[in-house]
Homo-oligomer: A and B are copies of this chain.
Amino acid sequence: MRIESTVRGVRAFVDAARREGRSVGLVPTMGAFHAGHLSLMRRAVADNDVTVVSLFVNPTQFGPQEDFSQYPRDLEGDAQKAREAGVSLIFAPSEEEMYPPGACTWVTVDRLTEGLCGRYRPGHFRGVTTVVTKLLNVVQPDRAYFGEKDYQQLQVIRRMVRDLLIPVEIIAQPTVREPDGLAMSSRNAYLSPEERQAAVRLPQALQAAADLVRQGATGADAVRRALELLQSEPLLRPQYVEAVDPETLEDRSASGAPLVLAAAVMVGKTRLIDNIRVNG
């Protein structure tokens, strides 16, 4: 497995692979790999001749009060895990490599970024869509892999790829969970033992709400139930629970399935998100 820090180095590697007719997969990450990342990598390795994992803690998707500086970084441990998963190349660029001096170009997706996390993290999705566009331009993969845990991000990127006519197939992988149901997240490492215990209420609340919808309740009923359950856990402060259209992310309070129930909670200083899809 190679580790490259420059755009030039990645391009040389990928161009050589493509000249030999080999397919290329990209898994964009911010590192601190957990089983969710590894599931994306294994799927990419299975689908493609060559798998590139980008590892870049992207400053522009963090708000000024957010955890950019504390975000866990462990290139050596990550490289070991990626190698074991069969990854061909890690692209771990510097900030200067991804944002040339004077950079002032942004990719924005309207509408889908307005609700859910977009309301609580202004500028976040602009950072995500801009850096993903750059990564897609560097690697020009046949397929790119994203986790369903970041459900809004996934739909925003699908929309962006379609709108900008980017020649890549976006492939989603299901959320990987701890045995008690908590969604895997690099940010789980921030939690104290008490907070970690309380955090399981997030998937539990979404699960209970999803069951209601399966029994014929509306999105609004489900949201109300999830909020009750979240609020009854004193260590959690819910930011939102919403019932949305699985593709457009428009409000689905008034309807039943199919919909996605998505939520964000603060647990101490840690922000956790999760979602569950209820099919029709």
Interface residues of A (CB under 8 A from B): 7, 11, 98-100, 102-112, 129-130, 133-134, 137-138, 140, 159-160, 162-167, 248
Contact = CB atoms under 8 A, between A and B. Distances in A.
B108 A105 contact: yes
Contact of A162 (B100, B111, B129): B100
Give how many copies assemble into the complex: 2
A100 B164 CA distance: 9
A136 to B, nearest CB: 9
Dominant secondary structure at the A interface: mixed
20 contacts: A7-B165, A11-B167, A98-B165, A99-B163, A100-B162, A100-B163, A102-B159, A103-B162, A104-B111, A105-B109, A105-B110, A105-B159, A105-B163, A107-B164, A134-B163, A134-B164, A134-B165, A137-B165, A138-B167, A140-B167
A103 B111 CA distance: 10
B100 A104 contact: no
Contacts of A164: 105, 107, 130, 133-134, 137
A220 to B, nearest CB: 25
Contacts of A105: 107-110, 129, 159-160, 163-164
B109 A108 contact: no
Contact of A103 (B140, B163, B248): B163
Contacts of A11: 167
B134 A104 contact: no
Given A102-B248, A105-B110, 4 more contacts: A100-B163, A105-B163, A106-B108, A134-B165
A104 B111 CA distance: 7
A159 B110 CA distance: 23
A56 to B, nearest CB: 12
Contacts of A248: 102
A98 B160 CA distance: 13
A105 B175 CA distance: 26
Contacts of A98: 165
Nearest to A130: B164
Nearest to A162: B100
Contacts of A137: 164-167
B109 A107 contact: no
A106 B107 contact: yes
A11 B162 CA distance: 15
Contacts of A109: 104-105
Contacts of A111: 104
Given A106-B107, A159-B104, A138 B112 contact: no
Contacts of A140: 140, 167
Contact of A108 (B100, B102, B108): B108
